[in-house]
Structure 1
């Protein structure tokens, strides 16, 4: 089958391999993108072991916490100039506060904000600024205590990455202290799930298949291969599961053990991580063109 240039480009961005290797892998897998990624990994050609969303859109993620409830909201803009604008930041902060009273993004769009709905507020801001904006995502987390952290903060409570961490079984002060540290860890490591049981079964099966294929190429006996796979899967879990990851503040401890030491009896019950533009592909534009667009040129 014919492989398009856009498919080759997408595979190169996901794996970091050269154009010919990407095209060959897509040809061998008949255009199946995920299978091509696995094939390149099996051959040792892929530079990254896991896919990550391409951060391409601008805007802000804002977080808000009230009691045992935390919310994170992403509002996108076309340029970073608008994201740094005080009026835009004020609007995003208001949207985050409104999100504390609703369950999902649809309800948030209909929620009241300064005499209008949130959706109408965003639409009006588009007309005022002359740049497209979208209310893209909302996440909600509930626990005994919720800690929040914003990375690359543009203003209090909002920035490029917003994280919420739920802690149960600890007093408020201890939960806030260790929760903030774990939230910083989540911002840095971007775990796939809280623990093994929370991982997407399809992701686990794909990883196991790739590791099995790699182990079989060693030519070792089946009983040795089985042990190799178990060991490599355990290493995979340690890389992608929050509770099993080495704590960035003290790599000698896992996150789970660090929380237990800092606040005896405490457990992490959940987390949320939103990054601006995650998974959105943006048309490349040079700096001069971005300035011209901002000025209405």
Structure 2
């Protein structure tokens, strides 16, 4: 039978469930609204929508490795406890693996088929919300690919294989020995996890960030009363120092502080037997940038007591 858009809209308004879930419920119930509502309730899907406005800043970072690519995803939940839930871990691991085929497109990943489930990854997350009892979101996804070369991965604060609180991808373009590239890539990924650079090279640092830094340094230098030509040189010196701090290639290598990352790559080329170029990196830290709710328990109790 045909289900109208108006019927789907009405069921959504009554239950708060997702559009596709409402359409499926109406189809399964032969268009009977009350039966469809009960169908959603039994599946736990109407409850899932009620949790959607709750802040989800915990969860897991998932990393998956392909032949010449790798993916990293962030799937959030409300509490750290869920990260230890086997069902949730399986979900995040599957989402990361399926991300390899999406080129980093979040919407495409949500719409992709959940292996062996007969529905999408987005619908699987909705069902997990109902089953586990917490709001969950696929917040972001990134995929790096390189040819020839490798994409190395690193997971920090790992709770299971490929799952943790922080994930890093590092893409090295080279025809060199894969084992040498993997070792170097893994060490650089650990460096990225620890230092959190802004960009690969000075040229790739956001122009707005560079302009703001130059303006601050220029204002500071003018307070010295020196002439403009001297101020310009002072600012250039400060900017060189700034790039050493934020551009990955110019940073002191955490694994070998006597070298910059760029020098470490150059040194590894002899063992690899070919030139190596660091083309990109991605760093996902769980919950970064999410404004977490803070509650005053005493105030909540007082409000509940009517005082």
Measured against the shorter chain, the TM-score band is 0.7 to 0.9
Q: Say whether the 8 Å CA contact 1:57–1:78 is kept in structure 2.
A: yes
Residue by residue over 1:167-208, the C-alpha shift from the partner in whole angstroms, topping out at 9 and shown as x without a partner, is 112221111000000000000111111111211111110111
Residue 155 of structure 1 aligns to a residue whose secondary structure is coil
What residue in structure 2 maps to residue 154 of structure 1?
A: 159
Q: Say whether the 8 Å CA contact 1:191–1:242 is kept in structure 2.
A: yes
Residue 283 of structure 2 aligns to a residue whose secondary structure is strand
Matched, 1:231 2:237: yes
Q: Which runs of 5+ in 2 are unaligned?
A: 1-55, 298-307
Q: How far is 1:72 from its partner?
A: 0.5
- Return the TM-score normalized by structure 2: 0.73
Taking only aligned residues, the RMSD between alpha carbons, in angstroms, comes to 1.4
What residue in structure 2 maps to residue 272 of structure 1?
A: 282
What residue in structure 2 maps to residue 95 of structure 1?
A: 95
Q: Which runs of 5+ in 1 are unaligned?
A: 1-55, 288-297
Matched, 1:175 2:181: yes
Residue 220 of structure 1 aligns to a residue whose secondary structure is coil
Aligned ranges for residues 73-222 of structure 1 at < 5 Å? 73-103=73-103, 104-113=105-114, 114-115=116-117, 116-143=119-146, 144-169=149-174, 170-222=176-228
Residue by residue over 1:200-238, the C-alpha shift from the partner in whole angstroms, topping out at 9 and shown as x without a partner, is 111110111011111111222222211110110000111
Inter-partner Cα distance in structure 2 for 1:239 and 1:285:
37
Determine which of 291, 300, 304 is the counterpart of 1:281: 291
Residue 229 of structure 2 aligns to a residue whose secondary structure is helix
Over 3 Å off, 4+ runs: none
Q: Which has the larger radius of gyration?
A: 2
Inter-partner Cα distance in structure 1 for 2:233 and 2:155:
41
Question: Between Structure 1 and Structure 2, which shows a larger proportion of strand residues?
Answer: 1
Q: Say whether the 8 Å CA contact 1:70–1:141 is kept in structure 2.
A: yes
What residue in structure 2 maps to residue 59 of structure 1?
A: 59
Inter-partner Cα distance in structure 1 for 2:268 and 2:294:
45
- More relative contact order, 1 or 2 (CA 8 Å, 6+ apart): 1
Residue by residue over 1:95-140, the C-alpha shift from the partner in whole angstroms, topping out at 9 and shown as x without a partner, is 1011111121011001111322110110000000111000110011
Residue 165 of structure 2 aligns to a residue whose secondary structure is strand
Alignment: residue pair count: 232
